[in-house]
Chain A
Amino acid sequence: MQRLLRDPQALITGGLLLLITFAGLLAPVLSQHDPNQASLEAVNVAMGSPGHPIGGDANGRDIFARLLASINTAAISAIICSSIALVLGTVGGLIGGYFDKFRNASEWAFTLIMTFPGLLVLILLTPITRGDFRFTMAMFGVLLSPSIYRIVRNLTVAVSRELYVDAAKVSGLTNFRILARHVLSVVRGPIIVAAAFMFGSAISVQSGLAFLGLGSKETPSFGAMIAEGFRNFYISPLQYLWPALALGVINGALVLFGNALRDVLEGARPKPAPIVSKAAVDAARFDGLKPSGAALVDVRDLGVAYRMSQDEQKEVVRGVSFSVEPGETLGLVGESGSGKTQTAFAILGVLPAEAIVTRGSIVLDGNQVIGAKEREMRVLRGASVAYIPQEPMSNLDPVYTVGSQLVEGMRASTSESRGAAKARALDLLRRVGIADPERTFRSYPHQISGGMAQRVLIAGAIASKPRLLIADEPTTALDVTVQAEILDLLRDLQAEFGMGLLLVTHNFGVVADICDRVAVMRQGELVEIGNVEEIFSSPQHEYTKSLLDSILDEETVRKDPPVATVAGRAS
Chain B
Amino acid sequence: MRTDYENLTLYLASSIHEIKNAFSRLQSMTDSLILNIPEEYRHNTDYHKIQFESQHINTQLTQLLVTYKNNEMGYQAYLEDVIMDDYIEEILRRHQKTLSMLNVNIETSVEPNLVSVIDERLVTNVIDTLIYNATQAKAKKIKLSVFCEKQYMVIQVEDDGPGFTDLDTNQADSETDSEIEQPKQKDLLATNTGLGLLFARQITEMHKTKDLQGHTLLGKSGELNGAKVKLCFPA
Asked if A and B are interacting partners, one says no
